[in-house]
Amino acid sequence: MPLSSFPSSSSFSSSANVLALAVLLLLLNAGTSSAQLSDNFYSKKCPNVFNTVKSVVKSAVAKEPRIGASILRLFFHDCFVDGCDGSLLLDDTPSFLGEKTAAANNNSVRGFEVIDAIKSKVEKLCPGVVSCADILAVASRDSVVLLGGPFWKVKVGRRDSRTANFTAANTGVIPPPSSNLTNLITAFQAQGLSARDMVALSGAHTIGKARCTSFRDHIYNGSNIDRTFASARQRQCPRTNGVGDNNLAVLDFRTPTHFDNDYFKNLLIKRGLLNSDQVLFNGGSTDSLVRTYSKNNKAFDSDFVTAMIKMGNNKPLTGSRGEIRKNCRRVN
Ligand code: HEM
Ligand SMILES: *[C@@H]1O[C@H](CO)[C@@H](O)[C@H](O)[C@H]1NC(C)=O
Ligand SMILES: *[C@@H]1O[C@H](CO)[C@@H](O)[C@H](O)[C@H]1NC(C)=O
Ligand SMILES: *[C@@H]1O[C@H](CO)[C@@H](O)[C@H](O)[C@H]1NC(C)=O
Ligand SMILES: *[C@@H]1O[C@H](CO)[C@@H](O)[C@H](O)[C@H]1NC(C)=O
């Protein structure tokens, strides 16, 4: 019922009505930060957006399979820092410090050109309608599918931040590869993700590569690592800090461009590349889940999808908060 049709004409009761309505709206909103994401957000405003995103990701992955891994990681690093709001995509300027040079990202995150290419195609199709945050969410799903992983429906309606948070990205909100199991569980819990979600999401390391600097300590000093595997990796990653830091190794030595459960099989034989990989199977509380995923690819796919949806619903900007960026690299 519209407020104007309330019988009372006293200004007291009409402002009481407005207050009651405001409180009601607040209550409806509380704790349901993802309530406004939906399957059909763009079905009238940009019906072809999903096909457009997919076509660009498809040609990028055909050219370089690893780029699918890089895009998936961008989404993770975006979502953990103040929610899935495209904040990671913002470039630094003389007066703006973004997240790209923070410890978790510097010299490491990649794939921004693909996001730009998608954005410019989508802007031609439906100008000012589709957020960069949604593009990243959909492109991540498409990357997983194109590399042989499971499909899921991505809810959309996210808007783009006008801010970034260097400090968060620089100080462990995104856990470092030196993390132990407790660190990992805590960092994911802080995002509303369970230990089970954390293990399933770590399965993303079935694709992509890491730099020597990310795994040096594990291959030289780790106790829970297969010696043959460690020696092989040491040949491409010198012991001395600063030497060969950017040399790359695949995260899944079996099928590095195929999204499957081999990552968990590797952990069973102590061939996780990062310390944070191997701690998932080192006599602790997550051992049995790693065993389950290693034997049951369907169980992994299903839990991975559940966790990706949860991560993707993390504190999105919706309604009139944030904006739809014209260019993913800068605020309007
Ligand atoms: C559990 C905690 C995690 C830690 C400590 C971690 C850490 C890392 C590190 C250190 C790298 C290599 C970066 C480099 O050396 O340049 C990496 C790569 C990667 N991470 Fe994670 N990660 C975690 C969880 C995740 C999650 C949740 C996802 C996505 C769902 C993900 C997806 C990836 C992908 C796909 C790559 C390869 C990227 C490429 O080849 O460009 N990671 N991760
Ligand atoms: C990022 O890496 C570059 C190149 O290694 C380095 O010069 C710069 O200081 C790093 N930035 C931060 C904020 O650590
Ligand atoms: C940035 O992230 C830190 C750490 O998570 C948080 O305490 C802080 O409130 C954030 N800053 C802004 C401006 O959102
Ligand atoms: C994990 O690492 C933290 C430091 O980040 C340390 O305080 C804690 O004792 C470690 N926990 C275990 C179980 O090793
Ligand atoms: C291995 O551990 C020792 C002792 O903690 C440390 O001094 C050394 O820098 C580590 N080596 C590597 C390659 O991380």
Across the range 173-181, mean pLDDT stands at: 98
Task: Check whether residue 208 and residue 306 sit in a common domain.
Answer: yes
The three-state secondary structure class of 160 is strand
Report pLDDT digits (tens) over 73-119.
999 999 999 999 999 999 999 999 999 999 999 999 999 999 999 99
Dihedral of CA atoms 203, 204, 206, 210 in degrees, nearest 10, equals -120
Task: Check whether residue 185 and residue 279 sit in a common domain.
Answer: yes
Per DSSP, the chain holds a count of helices (H) and strands (E) of: 14, 2
320: phi then psi, degrees, rounded to nearest 5 = -105, 5
Across the range 173-202, mean pLDDT stands at: 98
Across the range 212-240, mean pLDDT stands at: 98
Q: What is the pLDDT of residue 328?
A: 98
Give the chain's domain count: 2
Q: What is the pLDDT of residue 296?
A: 98
Report pLDDT digits (tens) over 251-300.
999 999 999 999 999 999 999 999 999 999 999 999 999 999 999 999 99
Task: Check whether residue 163 and residue 200 sit in a common domain.
Answer: no
Task: Check whether residue 55 and residue 161 sit in a common domain.
Answer: yes
What is the domain extent for residue 238?
181-311
Q: What is the pLDDT of residue 36?
A: 84
Q: Which of 178, 220, 247, 275 to mutate to test the pocket of ligand 5 (most atoms within 8 A of CB)?
A: 220
On whether 206 is known to bind a ligand per the annotation, the reply is: yes
Task: Check whether residue 114 and residue 197 sit in a common domain.
Answer: no
Mean pLDDT of the chain: 92
Task: Check whether residue 187 and residue 111 sit in a common domain.
Answer: no
Distance CA(37)–CA(155), nearest Å, equals: 5
H/E element, 206: none
Supply the residue whose CA is at minimum distance from atom 6 of ligand 1.
177
| Closest ligand to the CA of 176 | 1
Position in ligand 3 atom list of the atom nearest CA 173: 5
Domain for residue 17, yes or no? no
Q: Where does the pLDDT of residue 17 fall: very low under 50, low under 70, confident under 90, or very high at 90 and above?
A: low
**CA 27, chain centre distance (Å):** 29
Position in ligand 2 atom list of the atom nearest CA 103: 14
pTM metric for this prediction: 0.92
Domain for residue 41, yes or no? no
Residues framing ligand 2 (Cβ under 6 A): 101, 106-107
Domain for residue 14, yes or no? no
**Residue 235 CB burial class (10 angstroms; 0-12, 13-18, ≥19):** exposed
Task: Check whether residue 303 and residue 187 sit in a common domain.
Answer: yes
Number of Cβ within a 10 Å radius of residue 233: 21
Q: Which of 122, 145, 170 is the last residue of a domain?
A: 170
* CATH number for the domain harbouring residue 57: 1.10.520.10
* Ligand 4 neighbourhood includes 182 CB (under 6 angstroms): yes
Q: Where does the pLDDT of residue 301 fall: very low under 50, low under 70, confident under 90, or very high at 90 and above?
A: very high
Q: What is the pLDDT of residue 191?
A: 98
Task: Check whether residue 161 and residue 225 sit in a common domain.
Answer: no
Domain for residue 293, yes or no? yes
Task: For residue 182, report the distance from its CA to the centre of ligand 5, in Å.
Answer: 22
Residues 6 and 14 sit within 8 Å (Cβ to Cβ): yes
Residues facing 327 on adjacent strands:
330
Tokens of 50: 């999903």
First to last CA, the chain: 37
Task: Check whether residue 301 and residue 202 sit in a common domain.
Answer: yes
